[in-house]
Amino acid sequence: MIKFEEYDYYIKPGCTDLRKGALKLSLIVQEEMALNPFSKSIFMFCSKNRKTIKAILWDGNGWFEITKRLDYKSTFSWPKTEEASRSIKLEDIRYLLRGADVFKIFPNYSPLFAG
């Protein structure tokens, strides 16, 4: 049984052709993301229309492909650039699947009056 809390999670920013299977997506992980697709990690990708996300993971014996497709007008929030992308936690994935924007970064403002 897979213990998802023991995995690291990585997001591929921008859109990805999700007609690709786990083998082709693992090449993207290796070549474009410069990460090891066989590590204890889950790698996530999003379609151009942001209605479908796909995750792949290697369990030591083969690939898992997990797909979530939205059927309504809503879309997934997804980073477009490497700067906006980040390694996220399982809790963030749960929020993402419920429609939350886990990639929004709030600016850190300095106090107007110091002292």
Distance CA(70)–CA(85), nearest Å, equals 21
Residue 108 Cα distances to 9, 55, 95, 111, angstroms: 25, 31, 22, 10
100 band by pLDDT with thresholds 50, 70 and 90: confident
Residue 43 dihedral angles phi and psi, to the nearest 5°: -110, 130
What pLDDT shows up at residue 103? 73
Rg (CA), the chain: 16
pLDDT in tens, 26-65: 999 999 999 999 999 999 999 999 999 999 999 999 999 9
CA dihedral 102, 13, 2, 19 (to 10 degrees): 130
What six digits make up the tokens of 94? 């749960």
What six digits make up the tokens of 6? 């023991």
